C-alpha cells in the first residue's frame, strides 16, 4: 500500500504559507489533542496517510505511517527539525521552493522528493501541501504519497523500452556486420544510444593475463586502454574480472560503495560510472569475452534490466557464432571456387581457367604486337597401360607427380591446364614473332624431357609414359580461343597418326590429317554437320554412358558429402537418379541440341546439385571423368581420324558449356539465399503482420522451396498456421485434416514430427528424406503428393528466450538442408526470425487463429461483412446525446458478430487503410441518414497511426467530408494512447489535420505511457479516460477516484473536452458527472448498436443531468470534491439545507447512522478533519456494499 504523510510547519522556506482557515486550534494543541481523541487517533494511525505536526521547524507529532516511511520510531522524530524528514538538503530545498505557489494558490504539489529512510532504502514521495491559519499561527498540511514503486516501475519501463530498441538494433548489427571489430564496435555504440547506459565496452584477457579492450563507446570508455586490469582473484577484482573468472553475470548497483573498486575510484567518479554490469559473451561454446554495461545512475539493474542485459550478451555471442559460420562459409565458398577452377587430383587449373586465360593472352598479344601465343594440346601415350597394370590409384599418383614436374617449367605468364584423364593444355605467352619456332621447340623439349623421365610410383613400381602434343599459334592458326584449341586438338591427332615415327611427337596444324579431305570445312560443336557426326555414332555413346554412371556413383560412396546425399535416397530413388544422369549426359550430345538447350538443361541441373548439397568441385570432377571416359571408350574407337578430331571438338566444347552453366547456376543458387538473408528485415514503420507475410513470401520464393510457414500453438496446445507461402502452401494448408495438426503434448503421435521435435528440443531439426522420416507418418501421403522431399523446423525465441513459434520450410529435393552452407544459412535465418518475433505487439499475441480462420475473416470483412456500429456519448451537463463513436464490427454469415479485437490484429497496413476508408464511408453515410431523420450528431473515428505516414490522408479526408456535405469539426479522430507515434511526419500530419478543423483525441488515457508528453506535443482537443481505469474504481475507490478526478481536472485546465469511458452503471455515471467530466460513454448509458438503430434510440433517450445524488459513489465523489475545493480545516461547507449528501441520507433512511452523525458534525465545523475522515470511511464502505449488491450471482 502506498503511504501518504501529512506534515505541518510555520517555516515558509520549508512548507510555505497560505490563506486563512484551519482546524480551529493552534498546531501544538492539534498535536496534543490527537492522543485525547481515540477516534481521530485510530483513523490517523490506520489510514493510508501518515501525519506529522511541526511548529517552528520542530516536529510535534507523527503517526505510524510517517514513522514507517522514515523507518524510525515516533519518539526519534518528535521534537526534531523538519530536516529529519528529507534525505538531502536538495530535497529539503525543493519543498521550500514551492512556497510561492502555496501562498498564492493555498496548495502546492512537489513530485519525487526523497524521504530520509533510516535504513538507506530509497523512498520517493509526491507531496501535496495545503495551508490553514489559526489565531496563533499557520499550519501547513503536506501529504506525502509514497511513489517509490511507481517511479521504479516507470524507470524500469523506460529502461526496458530503450533496451528493447537496442536489442532490435543489435539484431540488425549482427546481420549486417562485415567484420568482428565492426560487430563489437556497433554493439557498444547501440548500447549507449538513448539507453540508461552512458558507456559500454568489451574486454578479453590477453596472453599475459591482462584484460584488453576490444571495443568501446561512451564516456570514459576510451580511458580503459590506459588502465592495468590484471586477471587476478575474482573476489577482489573489478566486475569484468569477476565475470570472466566465475563465467557468469555480475553487477554492482553502487560502484563507489564497493571497497573492491578502491583502486579505480578516481576514474569511476570522474566519468560517473556509478553502476555497472559485466556479462560473459560465449563463442563456440566457450567464454570468449566480457560485455560491460555502465550507467551514470545507481540502482538501475532491476530484474528486467538484468534479463535484457543477459539477452544482449547472449545475442552478441550468437552473432559472433553466426559471424564465424559466415566466415567458415566464405572459406568454404573460396575453397569451392578454387576447386571449381582447379583439377581436384593434380591441383592444376582446369578448363574454366583456360577459358578465361586464353582470351586475355590473345588480347595482350594483339595489344603488344610482335608476339606469338602458342597453344599446346597434350595427350599422354601409354597412360592407359599404367592404369591397366597397376590400377587407377597408381595412375592418379603418376598424374600428380607429372603436375609437380610441369609447374616449375613454366614462366609466370604461361599456363598449364588439365582437361581430364591424361589430357593437358599448355599456353605459352610472349613468344618473339621472329624466333617463335625456336622458342617453342626449346619449351616443348623441356616438357618432353620431364614427361618421359621414369616415374617412381612407390612400392617398387616404376613407369614411363610418352606424350603427343598438337600446337596452334596465334595469329597464324587462329585469332580466337575456340579456333586455336580446335587447331591444337587437330594437330595432336595428326601427330598421333604418325605413331610409327615417335621422333615426330609434336605437330603444328600445318595441314589436315591424311584422311580428312582438304575441302572439309570446320564442323563446330553444334549445327547440322556436328549433328550428322553425332547421329552416326550416338548408339555407341549410350552404351558407354550407362556403365560410366554406375561406376561413378559407386566411387562416390567413398566421398563423405556425396555418400550422405546418396544415403538419403531409397533404392528406387537411387535408380531414378542414375537414369536421369544417363539421360542428361546423353542429351548433352543429342544431335539436334543447340547451345541454348545445353545451357538451359545445365542451369537447372546446377540449381538441383546446389540444393542437394553437391559441391562445385564434384561437378568439375564428374565432367573431367566423363570426358576421359568418352575419349578412351568412344572417340578412340571411331574408325576415321577425321571423325576422331571432330568428335573430340564436340565433346570438349559441349562438356565445357555444360560445366560452365552448372557452376554459374550452383553459385547463383547459394548466393540467392545469402543475399536474401543480408537484406534489412523491414521498414521500421511497417505493421508486424505485414513483415511476417513479406518475410514468408520472400523465403518461399527461394530456389527449391515448396512451402514456408510459421506455426504456433493455440490455447489448446494444437499448432496452427499463422502464415504460409509458396507454390504448395495453399494445397498443404487446405488438405491437412483438422485432426492431424501437430500438438504440444509429448505423448501424442502428432508430436513426433519435425514441429514437435523442434518445440521439445529447442533446436533446429532437419530431415534429408522427409517422406521416409520416422514420425511423419500422419502427413506422409501429403508430402508425396506435393513433392516435399526434405524439410527443416527452426525454433523462434522471444525476448525471454522461450520458444514461441516454429518456422517450417519444405524443400523439393532430398538433402536440401543438410549441406554445410545450408546449415550456416539456417543459423542466420533463425537470428533473423527471432528478431522479427521480438517486434510483435501484445495484441497480436492475444489473437490465436489458424491461417484458414484468419483468411476466412479477412475475406468476409472486405466482402460485405464490415458494419460500423455506433456507441452514443452523452453530455453529462445537459443530458443530451451529442456524438457517437463509430466502432468496426465483423458480421459473419452465421449471424455471429466479432469485435475489433477478433480481426484488427490480422490487418496489415494496406488492409488497415482499406478498413479505414470503408468505415469512414459508412459512418458519413449514417450521419446523413440521421440528419434526414431529424437527428444531428458528431462522430468520432479511430485513426491507426500507420495511416499518419500517408501524406495524402488530409486531402482524402477533406474530399470524403466534402462529398458528404459534412464539416470537419464534426469528425473526431481518435489515437490510442498505447500506440506509438514515433516520427516527426506523423506529428506534422496531425497538426495539418487540426488546422483543417478536425478534432484529435487521445483514446484510452491511462492505458499506455507517455500521455503527458503527447498532450504537450500533439494538437489534442479531446481526452478519453480509459475504461480499464474506471472499472477498477470499486476495488480501491479513493485511489482510483483521485486519479480520475485528477485526469479530469488536468483536461479541463488544458481546455480539452474530457470523456470518461466504461460507465457501466448509475454509480459510475454519477461519479463522472460529479467530478466534472464533459461526456460519458459506456453500457450504463448505451451499448454499441447498428447505425440504423441510432436515430430512434436518440429520440427515445432521456437522461436527467441535474437529479439529486442517489448512489454512494456519487456521494463519495461529491464529498471528495468538497474537501478538495474548500479549506480542509475550516472550509466552504455547503449549507445543510442544500447539501446533496444530506438529501441522499434522508432518501435512504440513514438519518440516524454514524455516517449522518459525522456528516452533521462536519457541516457544523466540529472536529472537521476527524469527521471528514469518518464520512469518507463510511462512504467507502457503502460503495463496496453497492458493488456487491450489483455484482452478478455466481452461475
pLDDT for position 1069: 92
pLDDT for position 809: 97
**Four-residue CA torsion sign, 226, 232, 233, 239:** positive
Convert the pLDDT of each residue in 86-140 to its tens digit.
877 878 888 888 777 777 777 778 888 888 776 666 688 887 777 766 666 666 7
Identify the weakest region by mean pLDDT among 112-121, 973-982, 1148-1157. Answer: 973-982
Convert the pLDDT of each residue in 824-847 to its tens digit.
888 888 888 888 887 776 555 446
Whether residue 475 has a cis bond before it, omega within 30° of 0: yes
Mean pLDDT of 544-548: 87
C-alpha pair distances (Å), 1 with each of 69, 141, 342, 1176: 12, 21, 78, 18
Distance CA 365, CA 169 (A): 54
pLDDT for position 172: 54
- DSSP H/E element including 875: strand 866-875
pLDDT for position 23: 33
Mean pLDDT of 1113-1137: 69
Question: Which of 757, 754, 748, 744 lies closest to 713, judged by CA?
Answer: 744
Contact 29, 142 (CB under 8 A): no
> Beta strands 506-508 and 466-474: pairing type?
parallel
Contact 436, 368 (CB under 8 A): no
Distance CA 68, CA 1121 (A): 29
pLDDT for position 1010: 41
Q: What share of the chain is helix, strand, coil (3-state, %, to 5)?
A: 50, 20, 30
pLDDT for position 677: 79
Beta carbons within 10 angstroms of residue 1007's beta carbon: 17
pLDDT > 90: what percent of the chain?
A: 27
Convert the pLDDT of each residue in 892-904 to its tens digit.
998 899 888 888 8
> What DSSP character marks residue 1026?
-
pTM above 0.75, yes or no: no
Give helix then strand counts, H and E, for the chain: 41, 33
∠ at Cα 558 (554, 560), nearest 5°?
A: 125
Confidence of residue 323 (pLDDT cuts 50, 70, 90): confident
Contact 653, 527 (CB under 8 A): no
Distance CA 290, CA 250 (A): 11
pLDDT for position 12: 38
Residue 141 bridge partners (DSSP)? 130
Residue 874 bridge partners (DSSP)? 881, 1080
pLDDT for position 18: 32
pLDDT for position 1081: 94
**Four-residue CA torsion sign, 557, 560, 566, 570:** positive
Confidence of residue 173 (pLDDT cuts 50, 70, 90): low
pLDDT for position 513: 37
Distance CA 25, CA 60 (A): 14
Beta carbons within 10 angstroms of residue 425's beta carbon: 28
Q: How far is CA 1096 from the centre of its chain?
A: 50
- 894 compared with 497, residue with greater pLDDT: 894
- Residue 226: partners with Cβ closer than 8 Å, 6 or more residues away: none
Q: What is the largest CA-CA distance in the chain?
A: 142
Contact 790, 816 (CB under 8 A): yes
pLDDT beyond 60 at 499: no
Using DSSP, state whether 428 is helix, strand or coil: strand
Identify the weakest region by mean pLDDT among 449-463, 505-519, 813-827, 1134-1148. Answer: 505-519
Distance CA 29, CA 451 (A): 123
Residue 59 bridge partners (DSSP)? 54
Contact 293, 250 (CB under 8 A): no
Q: What average pLDDT is seen over the chain? A: 81
pLDDT for position 1012: 60
pLDDT for position 515: 35
Contact 3, 50 (CB under 8 A): yes
Mean pLDDT of 75-95: 82
Q: Which runs of consecutive H residues, i.e. helices, occur in 678-704? A: 688-700
pLDDT beyond 80 at 994: yes
Contact 516, 533 (CB under 8 A): no
pLDDT for position 783: 92
Beta carbons within 10 angstroms of residue 189's beta carbon: 17
Q: How far is CA 823 from the centre of its chain?
A: 21
- 350 compared with 29, residue with greater pLDDT: 350
∠ at Cα 994 (992, 996), nearest 5°?
A: 70
Convert the pLDDT of each residue in 2-33 to its tens digit.
343 334 333 433 333 333 333 333 344 444 54
Distance CA 667, CA 352 (A): 14
Distance CA 275, CA 777 (A): 56
Mean pLDDT of 695-701: 93
C-alpha pair distances (Å), 85 with each of 10, 147, 1121: 15, 16, 29
pLDDT for position 596: 94
pLDDT beyond 70 at 978: no
The dihedrals phi and psi of 47, each to the nearest 5 degrees, come to -80, 175
Question: Which of 715, 817, 701 lies closest to 767, judged by CA?
Answer: 817
Distance CA 430, CA 425 (A): 17
Mean pLDDT of 861-878: 93
pLDDT for position 517: 33
C-alpha pair distances (Å), 646 with each of 286, 478, 523, 595: 62, 17, 7, 17
pLDDT for position 1167: 84
Confidence of residue 931 (pLDDT cuts 50, 70, 90): very high
- Residue 1101: partners with Cβ closer than 8 Å, 6 or more residues away: 872, 881, 1086
Residue 124 bridge partners (DSSP)? 114
pLDDT for position 372: 94
Confidence of residue 1016 (pLDDT cuts 50, 70, 90): low
Question: Which of 1023, 1035, 1134 lies closest to 1072, judged by CA?
Answer: 1023
Tell me the DSSP string of 199-239: EEEEEEE-TTSBEEEEEEEETTGGGGGGS--B---TTTS-H
- DSSP H/E element including 827: helix 820-837
Q: How many residues does the chain have?
A: 1195
pLDDT > 70: what percent of the chain?
A: 83
pLDDT beyond 90 at 603: yes
pLDDT for position 948: 84
C-alpha pair distances (Å), 586 with each of 532, 544, 626: 16, 10, 11
Contact 721, 711 (CB under 8 A): yes
Distance CA 133, CA 154 (A): 38
∠ at Cα 438 (434, 441), nearest 5°?
A: 145
> Beta strands 1022-1025 and 1057-1060: pairing type?
parallel
pLDDT beyond 80 at 1195: no
Q: Name the packing angle between helices 351-368 and 481-496 (round to 10°).
A: 110
Burial degree of 302 (CB within 10 A; 0-12, 13-18, 19+): middle
Whether residue 842 has a cis bond before it, omega within 30° of 0: no
pLDDT for position 520: 38
Distance CA 791, CA 765 (A): 8
Amino acid at each position: 500500500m502506498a503511504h501518504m504523510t501529512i506534515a505541518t510547519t510555520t517555516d515558509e522556506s520549508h512548507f510555505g504559507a497560505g490563506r486563512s482557515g484551519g482546524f480551529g486550534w493552534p498546531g501544538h494543541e492539534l498535536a496534543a489533542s490527537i492522543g485525547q481523541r481515540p477516534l481521530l487517533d485510530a483513523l490517523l494511525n490506520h489510514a493510508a496517510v501518515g501525519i506529522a505536526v511541526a511548529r517552528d521547524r520542530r516536529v510535534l507529532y507523527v503517526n505510524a505511517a510517517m514513522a514507517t516511511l522514515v523507518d524510525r520510531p515516533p519518539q526519534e522524530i518528535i521534537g526534531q527539525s523538519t530536516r529529519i524528514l528529507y534525505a538531502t538538503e536538495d530535497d529539503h530545498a525543493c519543498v521550500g521552493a514551492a512556497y510561492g505557489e502555496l501562498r498564492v494558490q493555498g496548495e502546492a504539489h512537489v513530485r519525487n522528493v526523497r524521504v530520509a529512510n533510516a535504513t538507506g532504502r530509497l523512498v520517493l514521495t509526491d507531496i501535496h501541501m495545503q495551508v490553514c491559519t489559526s489565531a496563533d499561527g499557520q499550519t501547513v498540511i503536506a501529504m506525502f504519497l509514497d511513489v517509490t514503486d511507481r517511479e521504479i516501475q516507470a524507470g524500469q519501463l523506460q529502461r526496458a523500452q530503450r533496451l528493447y530498441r537496442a536489442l532490435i538494433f543489435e539484431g540488425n548489427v549482427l546481420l549486417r556486420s562485415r567484420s568482428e571489430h565492426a560487430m563489437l564496435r556497433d554493439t557498444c555504440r547501440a548500447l549507449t544510444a538513448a539507453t540508461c547506459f552512458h558507456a559500454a565496452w568489451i574486454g578479453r584477457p590477453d596472453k599475459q593475463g591482462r584484460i584488453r579492450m576490444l571495443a568501446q563507446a561512451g564516456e570514459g570508455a576510451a580511458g580503459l586502454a590506459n588502465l592495468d586490469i590484471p586477471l587476478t582473484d575474482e573476489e577482489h577484482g573489478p566486475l569484468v574480472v569477476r565475470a570472466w573468472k566465475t563465467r557468469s553475470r555480475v553487477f554492482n548497483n553502487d560502484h563507489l560503495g564497493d571497497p573492491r573498486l578502491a583502486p579505480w575510484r578516481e576514474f569511476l567518479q570522474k566519468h560517473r560510472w556509478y553502476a555497472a554490469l559485466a556479462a560473459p559473451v560465449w563463442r563456440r561454446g566457450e567464454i570468449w569475452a566480457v560485455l560491460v554495461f555502465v550507467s551514470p545512475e545507481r540502482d538501475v539493474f532491476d530484474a528486467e534490466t538484468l534479463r535484457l542485459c543477459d539477452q544482449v550478451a547472449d545475442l552478441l555471442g550468437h552473432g559472433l557464432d553466426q559471424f564465424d559460420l559466415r566466415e567458415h562459409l566464405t572459406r568454404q565458398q573460396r575453397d569451392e571456387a578454387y576447386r571449381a577452377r582447379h583439377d581436384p587430383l593434380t591441383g592444376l587449373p582446369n578448363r574454366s581457367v583456360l577459358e578465361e586465360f586464353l582470351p586475355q593472352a590473345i588480347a595482350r598479344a594483339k595489344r603488344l604486337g610482335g608476339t606469338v601465343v602458342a597453344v599446346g594440346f597434350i595427350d599422354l601415350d601409354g597412360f592407359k597401360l599404367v592404369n591397366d597394370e597397376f590400377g587407377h590409384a597408381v595412375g592418379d599418383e603418376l598424374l600428380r607427380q607429372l603436375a609437380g614436374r610441369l609447374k616449375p617449367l613454366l614462366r609466370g605468364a604461361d599456363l598449364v591446364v588439365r582437361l581430364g584423364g591424361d589430357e593437358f593444355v599448355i599456353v605459352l605467352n610472349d613468344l618473339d614473332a621472329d624466333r617463335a619456332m625456336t622458342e617453342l621447340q626449346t619449351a616443348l623439349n623441356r616438357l618432353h624431357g620431364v614427361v618421359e623421365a621414369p616415374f617412381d610410383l612407390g612400392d617398387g613400381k616404376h613407369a614411363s609414359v610418352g606424350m603427343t602434343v598438337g600446337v596452334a599459334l596465334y595469329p597464324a592458326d587462329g585469332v580466337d580461343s575456340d579456333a586455336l584449341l580446335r587447331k591444337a586438338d587437330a594437330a595432336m591427332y595428326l601427330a598421333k597418326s604418325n605413331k610409327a615415327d615417335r621422333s615426330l611427337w609434336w605437330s603444328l596444324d600445318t595441314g589436315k590429317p591424311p584422311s580428312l579431305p582438304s575441302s572439309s570445312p570446320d564442323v563446330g560443336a553444334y549445327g547440322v554437320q556436328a549433328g550428322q557426326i553425332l547421329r552416326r555414332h550416338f548408339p555407341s555413346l549410350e552404351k558407354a554412358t550407362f556403365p560410366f554412371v554406375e561406376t561413378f556413383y559407386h566411387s562416390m560412396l567413398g566421398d563423405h558429402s556425396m555418400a550422405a546425399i546418396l544415403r538419403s535416397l531409397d533404392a528406387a530413388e537411387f535408380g531414378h537418379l542414375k537414369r536421369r544422369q544417363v539421360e542428361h549426359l546423353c542429351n548433352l550430345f543429342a544431335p539436334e541440341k543447340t547451345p541454348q538447350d545445353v545451357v538451359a538443361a545445365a542451369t537447372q541441373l546446377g540449381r538441383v546439385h546446389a540444393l542437394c548439397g553437391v559441391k562445385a568441385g564434384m561437378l568439375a570432377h564428374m565432367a573431367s571423368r566423363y570426358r576421359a571416359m568418352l575419349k578412351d571408350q568412344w572417340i578412340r574407337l571411331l574408325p576415321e581420324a577425321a571423325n576422331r578430331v571432330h568428335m573430340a571438338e564436340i565433346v570438349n566444347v559441349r562438356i565445357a558449356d555444360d560445366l560452365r552453366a552448372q557452376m554459374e547456376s550452383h553459385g547463383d543458387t547459394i548466393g540467392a539465399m545469402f543475399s536474401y538473408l543480408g537484406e534489412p528485415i523491414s521498414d521500421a514503420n511497417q505493421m508486424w503482420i505485414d513483415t511476417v507475410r513479406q518475410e514468408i513470401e520472400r523465403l518461399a520464393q527461394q530456389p527449391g522451396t515448396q512451402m514456408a510457414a510459421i506455426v504456433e500453438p493455440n490455447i489448446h496446445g494444437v499448432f496452427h498456421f499463422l502464415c504460409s507461402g509458396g507454390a504448395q502452401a495453399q494445397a498443404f494448408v487446405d488438405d491437412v485434416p483438422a485432426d492431424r495438426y501437430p500438438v504440444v503434448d509429448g505423448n501424442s503421435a502428432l508430436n513426433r514430427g519435425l514441429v514437435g521435435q523442434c518445440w521439445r528440443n529447442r533446436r533446429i531439426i532437419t530431415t534429408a528424406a522427409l517422406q521416409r522420416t520416422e514420425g511423419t507418418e500422419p502427413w506422409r501421403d501429403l508430402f508425396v503428393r506435393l513433392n516435399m522431399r526434405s524439410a527443416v523446423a527452426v525454433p523462434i525465441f522471444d525476448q525471454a528466450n522461450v520458444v514461441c513459434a516454429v518456422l517450417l520450410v519444405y524443400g523439393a529435393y532430398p538433402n536440401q538442408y543438410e549441406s554445410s552452407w545450408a546449415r550456416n544459412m539456417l543459423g542466420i535465418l533463425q537470428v533473423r526470425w527471432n528478431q522479427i518475433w521480438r517486434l510483435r505487439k501484445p495484441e497480436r499475441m492475444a489473437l490465436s487463429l489458424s491461417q484458414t480462420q484468419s483468411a476466412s475473416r479477412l475475406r468476409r470483412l472486405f466482402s460485405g461483412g464490415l458494419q460500423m456500429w455506433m456507441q452514443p456519448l452523452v453530455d453529462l451537463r445537459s443530458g443530451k446525446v451529442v456524438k457517437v463513436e463509430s466502432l468496426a464490427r465483423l458480421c459473419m454469415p452465421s449471424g455471429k458478430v466479432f469485435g475489433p479485437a477478433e480481426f484488427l490484429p490480422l490487418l496489415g497496413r494496406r488492409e488497415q487503410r482499406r478498413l479505414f476508408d470503408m468505415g469512414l464511408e459508412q459512418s458519413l453515410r449514417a450521419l446523413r441518414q440521421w440528419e434526414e431523420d431529424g437527428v444531428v450528431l458528431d462522430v468520432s473515428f479511430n485513426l491507426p497511426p500507420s495511416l499518419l505516414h500517408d501524406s495524402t490522408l488530409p486531402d482524402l479526408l477533406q474530399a470524403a467530408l466534402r462529398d458528404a456535405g459534412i464539416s470537419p469539426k464534426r469528425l473526431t479522430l481518435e489515437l490510442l494512447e498505447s500506440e506509438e507515434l514515433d516520427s516527426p511526419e506523423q506529428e506534422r500530419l496531425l497538426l495539418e489535420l487540426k488546422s483543417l478543423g478536425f478534432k484529435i483525441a487521445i483514446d484510452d488515457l491511462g492505458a499506455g505511457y507517455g500521455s503527458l508528453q503527447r498532450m504537450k506535443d500533439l494538437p489534442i482537443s479531446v481526452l478519453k479516460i480509459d475504461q480499464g481505469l474506471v472499472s477498477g474504481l470499486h476495488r480501491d475507490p479513493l485511489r482510483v477516484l483521485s486519479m480520475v478526478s485528477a485526469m479530469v481536472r488536468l483536461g479541463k485546465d488544458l481546455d480539452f473536452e474530457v470523456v470518461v469511458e466504461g460507465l457501466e452503471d448509475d454509480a459510475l455515471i454519477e461519479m463522472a458527472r460529479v467530478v466534472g467530466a464533459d461526456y460519458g460513454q459506456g453500457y450504463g448509458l448505451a451499448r454499441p448498436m447498428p447505425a440504423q438503430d441510432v436515430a430512434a434510440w436518440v429520440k427515445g433517450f432521456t437522461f436527467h443531468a441535474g437529479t439529486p445524488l442517489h448512489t454512494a459513489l456519487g456521494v463519495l465523489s461529491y464529498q471528495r470534491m468538497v474537501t478538495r475545493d474548500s479549506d480542509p480545516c475550516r472550509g466552504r461547507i455547503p449549507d445543510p439545507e442544500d447539501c446533496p449528501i444530506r438529501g441522499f441520507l434522508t432518501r435512504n433512511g440513514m438519518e440516524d447512522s454514524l455516517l449522518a452523525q459525522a456528516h452533521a458534525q462536519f457541516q457544523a465545523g466540529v472536529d472537521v478533519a476527524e469527521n471528514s475522515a469518518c464520512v469518507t470511511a463510511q462512504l467507502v464502505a457503502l460503495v463496496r456494499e453497492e458493488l456487491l449488491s450489483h455484482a452478478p450471482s455466481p452461475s
